[in-house]
Structure 1
């Protein structure tokens, strides 16, 4: 099977869905002729023209508010925020409008908005351009939250998001854009609410998202040399959440580590840990471990920022601690 980058997978999904459905439109800051700040929309302007691919002013609240208006009047908007951090500027439009308007109007309207947001630490972008704010929206009923970790998942999940009649927050980790992986040619989708077991194991379960899926897989490969079997699970979507897959794994291994790049306090790991403690507490052989980032703003320095996200070594040490408990 051919290998393409995460960025190419995103671009292919956009291209194929726009070819298939004339109601799809792409817009945001620099997504037109420039092709997106991180290259995700490159070539779309030339292919589909300025009525379907267009730049906007630097006003995230207007971008998201316009997307809602387009969606409820028959279009399938795919707006992009240059950085996921900018959800703060559009917070009311996302938190109170996208996820709630369908239900405020008797469930009669569709809100097919796919809001693409590059997230995560990458190259010294600083504290306002490096965050992973997805945990804030777990507390927002009505919103779907998708976080692909591979080119294969990126294409299939983005196509699923665009076709979905509900609003989807689509987080794309910036470090993953240049990562290559196997992606079939042609049409396929990945259903939401279905986690993926990236590696099977029997001793410890590691639940990870985005870039941390690969950190966990690297740690698992190292631990295999020691005779330790690690199961790595990627939830892929936080809403809807596939509880059955990770609870089944936890019941099998009896040990679990939850890893994410968000700050540990109030991160997605807190919700997953609560679910496990409620529904699989007596299957555990050791306490639940969470590995997140420290509760400090992300450093501007490219060197210091590397101390922010969880590392392979931290996962390895946590696995050893749980096995010794």
Structure 2
């Protein structure tokens, strides 16, 4: 058992695979000697050298393009985009190339690339550096998407993401980089396997990323009122662990979904639709969705906090369900 921060766990997952496989390499803006904008890659340049930890030009199109080309020719690249917001600049390479090449070539090539996407609000980084865009990438066939909420999940999912022969979008919440937690296993966590972060009987709260911790805070407060909340973390957005969701709802019969993304068009709506279409008979009440307000992310801290869903919002929603 070891205590690690979320950032340290991401770094450890990458380093483990880079020590084992010389075909694994990392590149992005300032990931080298500087150690990354958020310090996640600190020390990796010294350990692995400038051939395998490479700084790139300020061009997300070039970063994703290099990942596609290197993955298609036998390497296993990890591409970091300093902010997930800048994925917009590399969307053609990602959506029209990476996601489709294995299919269009009849499976004759693999596309083993990981794209690290630091996202989320709460650090006053303003509208162009704080978005949660995971719904965009879950919409694209050919891409897999993971979103760890703890150091343990960050490490295990990174190992599986690097091992996978398909493009994996690795969403990491930058406000959680300093979050510490126990790491009890250095084994991969299979993609498509969710986790019950807190067992309960009355209401299932399905939460992603940083919202998992808001849900856990809400579960603790509601427990003091005699309301038993189950907190379910999908961990992997695609593939999604529908069996675990069904198992939980067959027990609680009520669902609250909370994600940090804008509520309109968010991935929470996809989960809600799956529940309505495939698990309706389990429900005793309508599904409630929580998300951020449908505005750009404010810069002012007081407005940013008002923009984001929080434990109090979850408590209110669960009370409505219970």
Deviations 1:252-273 (A, max 9, x none): 1111000000011110110011
Provide structure 1 residue ranges, at least 5 long, that are not aligned to the other structure: none
Q: How much has 1:2 moved relative to structure 2?
A: 2.1
Q: Which residue of 1 aligns with 2:81?
A: 81
Distance 2:298 2:243 in 1: 37
| Cα shift at 1:107 | 0.9
What does the per-residue CA deviation read over 1:226-256, in whole Å, with 9 as the maximum and x for residues that have no partner? 1110000000011111101012211211110
Distance 1:308 1:20 in 2: 43
What is the aligned partner in structure 2 of residue 100 from structure 1?
Answer: 100
The equivalent of 2:32 in structure 1 is 32
SS of structure 2 residue aligned to 1:286: coil
TM-score (norm 2): 0.98
Corresponding residue for residue 282 of structure 1: 281
The separation in 1 between residues aligned to 2:43 and 2:143, in whole angstroms, is 29
Residue 72 of structure 2 corresponds to 72
Matched ranges for 1:176-187 at <5 A: 176-184=176-184, 187=186
**CA–CA distance in 2 between the matches of 1:228 and 1:50?**
54
Q: Scaled by the length of structure 1, what TM-score is found?
A: 0.97
| Count of aligned residue pairs for this structure pair | 322
SS of the residue aligned with 1:99?
helix
Distance in 2, Cα, partners of 1:26 & 1:33: 13
The answer to whether the 8 Å contact 2:122/2:305 transfers is: no
Hey, what's the Cα distance between the residues in 1 that align with 2:67 and 2:124?
Answer: 31
1:89-148 per-position Cα deviation (integer Å, ceiling 9, x unaligned): 111111111111000111110100000111101321010100010001221001000000
Gaps of 5+ in 2: none
Give me the whole-angstrom Cα distance separating, in 1, the residues matched to 2:282 and 2:156: 34
| Counterpart position of 2:233 | 234
SS of 2:308's equivalent in the other structure is coil
Match of 2:212 in 1: 213
Give matches, 1:279-318, under 5 Å.
279-318=278-317
Q: Secondary structure at the match of 1:171?
A: strand
Q: For 1:246 and 1:156, how far apart are their aligned partners in 2?
A: 21
The 1-side partners of 2:34 and 2:87 are apart by 22
Q: Which residue of 1 aligns with 2:221?
A: 222
Distance apart, 1:282 and its partner CA = 2.6
Deviations 1:21-71 (A, max 9, x none): 000111000000000001111111111111111101110011001101000
**Cα RMSD between the aligned structures?**
0.9
Name segments (4+ residues, structure 1) moved above 6 Å.
Answer: none
1:45 paired with 2:40, answer no
